[in-house]
Amino acid sequence: MTRTRLKYAACISNHSHAYNQSIATGQGPLLYPYSNMKITDIKASLHRNEIDLPGIGKSIESRSFVFVEVETDEGISGLGITGQFLPWAVISAITDHLLPTLKGMDPYHTEKIHSTVWKKLNNRAYTGVISNALSAIDIALWDIRGKKEGRTVCELLGGYRDWADTVNTPSLIHHTHRIYNVNL
């Protein structure tokens, strides 16, 4: 995680003292503790879900999903899922390209993993197959971290709140005002 992103995350989550302490001590971001864990394998599989029409009891279509399991040398594995966009291409990208690239990397270093994948496999910043594959792996990496720390992914991402920070974009407000005739 870059200092800019860490500072932003610290500010919006009221943890600016954690950012300042990590910079002052030189120990790096406290949000990413040191880990010796390594990715050993990534498995991807295709699953289909039949969608039944209520009242008829007959399948009208099926949806395909790619499930991903990331395994580590500590015996902890994480699960991830991605949608039905080109599922066989996503599986191929994971097994043929992402596994060789990510094998041996620390699953805690999600920022480094993303950076490595984008530089090596998606240097033109296309979305699609690589994005879907990386999304499923990213979910699995958070699952690994949660299992290692004995916390839910929700807790790792900041926990439950009954409020959310919002961003006000003046040009959007003007646009909304024109479309919906909102009195401001």
Residues 32-54: tens digit of each pLDDT: 556 789 999 999 999 988 877 77
Is 95 found in the same domain as 179? yes
Residues 76-96: tens digit of each pLDDT: 999 999 988 889 999 999 999
Tell me if 9 sits within 8 A of 31, measured CB to CB: yes
* Radius of gyration over every alpha carbon of the chain, rounded to an integer in angstroms: 20
Query: How many structural domains are present in the chain?
Result: 2
Tokens representing 95 are 């097994």
Is 56 found in the same domain as 116? yes
CATH number for the domain including 157? 3.30.390.10
Phi, psi of 51 (to 5 degrees): -105, 115
Q: What is the DSSP letter of 16?
A: H
Is 105 found in the same domain as 16? no
Judged against a pLDDT cut of 50, whether residue 16 lies above it is answered with: no
How is the beta sheet containing 77-82 ordered, strand by strand? 39-53, 58-72, 77-82
Is 77 found in the same domain as 147? yes
Domain range for 136: 35-184
